[in-house]
Structure 1
Amino acid sequence: MDLNSDLGEGFGPWAMGDDAAMLGIVTSANIACGGHASDPDTMFATLRMAAEKGVCIGAHPGYADRLGFGRRVIPMEPAEIARMVAAQVGALQGVAALAGAKVAYVKAHGALANLAADRREVADAIAGAVKALPGGLAILAISGTELEAAGRAADLPTFSEIFADRAYLPNGRLVPRSRPDAMILGAKAAADRLIDFLDSGRMPVIGGDPIPLAAQSICVHGDSPEAVAMAAEIRARLTAAGVKLAPFRA
């Protein structure tokens, strides 16, 4: 099982989360590409740290909305979304070349990922952009979504993720962050839920019975105050349960 986190989400002198600590825990890092967060210097520093720690690197493109942290939908045509994704991932690939690192996959961020979960034309636009880029990139998609299906339809290596720190709805989508019950609070609660999921293959949801989800990766968001403690608890609990932690893609 892979353990991933969204990192490199600072900008200029403003830091977001503890990237150095998280990179000592996770096996994959989704690095912001200058859309919802980051800049060339932040990208370089995060890429260099990830490469030094042997962490698999993914690009994390999102809406160009730093004020909203990429969590608001910006009306765009699918072709515009494809160009936006290509530009952001390409920028990270360029900085990675300077940092002696390699980008292995793409994971959409925030509102863009949630929109691609339900709208196939958006999912196809993202998959098309990933396929057109060099480097043989894979897609990491929210489990059970249109983006997952679009990646496979485009013959891209496609992997599925679940979230350690987010609650689910009965349809498999994430509870909107506008709701007070959107987040799973507490490292122990998050780890307990994951262990139960790995035993049963079913994810607890709000307002329904647990649902089946496929997963090759678990995400802990790097911007939450308890991110490091949660990631460390999850890694320790999974290891104790006999789960081998390794990147979903070499």
Structure 2
Amino acid sequence: MASNHNSLIRTVDLNCDFGEGFGTYTFGQDTELLQYVTSVNIACGFHAGDPHTMRTAVNQALAAGAAIGAHPGLPDRLGFGRREMSVSASEVYDFTLYQLGALQAIVRASGGRLTHLKPHGALYHMAGKDKAIAEAIIKAALAIDDQLIIYGQSGSLLLDTAIRFGMPYASEVFADRAYELDGSLAARSKPGAVLHDADEAAAQAVAMAAQGIAYTPDGSPVHVQADTICLHGDGAHAALFASRIKEALIAADIILRSPSRTLRE
């Protein structure tokens, strides 16, 4: 696996979704966040992204030294890939294979290497609870590169599936979200589910990386495995949150680096 779970040296990856524009449209705070992250998840053309945007994003990530991952989504540009769709496992396999192949070609042409895969939006959540969808994504990754690291939510079915197929993986957590006692994210509609204070999010990030602990809206501790922390780029204060989180992790003597693609369970 790509986890530092049993390491004496505490390390964590900081990732963000990247290159989620299209044509003349931009989304998120790519330039601002790139200075804080150790890996990026680049949109591959379905929910966002186009050939030019993808190549630009790849070159920016390479220049910054960030690990490059694919961020395949559902073919729903209007809904930004955030709406669940009724799709078969075969369709998900084809969607994922198509997007992975496109980004891999651009990364190789630019002299880089594709290191990981993180499904986007609704596809991410569907893969976390649907065995057939999770298997379709893993099989597509295997067809491209059996050492691609699978990024998935801590405790999700997608990670269990990656382990079952012998794929390296990174367990993802969210510093700016509260959790339920079962390890799932608290619904955004629930009071306290979203952390709006940068210092509070930074404190949770340190607890996640150092102790494997997140918190419920009422402050109860929840066990999580934090190999990679997602930094959201679509909030009004995304860069501030990223800055505070990185500063807090470094102050806690936690090393920031992307997961190794050579480690396995």
Structure 2 length as normaliser, TM-score?
0.89
Q: Judge conservation of contact 2:177–2:194 (CA < 8 Å) in 1.
A: yes
Measure the CA separation in 2 of the matches of 1:91 and 1:153.
Answer: 26
| Equivalences for residues 203-222 of structure 1 within 5 A | 203-206=214-217, 209-222=220-233
What residue is the counterpart of 1:113 in the other structure?
124
Per-residue deviation, residues 172-216 of structure 1 (Å, max 9, x unmatched): 222344556542212111101222334432211246842211121
Q: Judge conservation of contact 2:84–2:123 (CA < 8 Å) in 1.
A: yes
Q: Judge conservation of contact 1:106–1:140 (CA < 8 Å) in 2.
A: yes
What residue is the counterpart of 2:91 in the other structure?
80
What residue is the counterpart of 2:198 in the other structure?
187
Measure the CA separation in 2 of the matches of 1:179 and 1:216.
Answer: 26
Measure the CA separation in 1 of the matches of 2:224 and 2:93.
Answer: 27
Pair 1:122 & 2:108 matched: no
Per-residue deviation, residues 193-240 of structure 1 (Å, max 9, x unmatched): 222334432211246842211121111112222111111111111101
What's the secondary structure of 1:104's corresponding residue?
A: strand
Task: State the percentage of identical aligned residues.
Answer: 40
Pair 1:165 & 2:176 matched: yes
Gaps of 5+ in 2: 1-11
What's the secondary structure of 2:56's corresponding residue?
A: helix
Per-residue deviation, residues 82-126 of structure 1 (Å, max 9, x unmatched): 111111111111122232222111001111111111111211111
| Equivalences for residues 15-26 of structure 1 within 5 A | 15-26=26-37
Measure the CA separation in 1 of the matches of 2:101 and 2:178.
Answer: 32
What's the secondary structure of 1:233's corresponding residue?
A: helix
Q: 2:183 corresponds to which letter in structure 1?
A: G
Runs of 4+ in structure 1 displaced over 6 angstroms?
none
Measure the CA separation in 1 of the matches of 2:190 and 2:54.
Answer: 31
> In terms of mean alpha carbon deviation, does 202-211 or 153-162 score higher?
202-211
Which of 43, 51, 60 lines up with 2:62 in the alignment? Answer: 51
Structure 1 length as normaliser, TM-score?
0.94
Cα distance change on mapping 1:46 and 1:247 into 2, 3 Å:
same
**Number of residue pairs aligned between Structure 1 and Structure 2:** 250
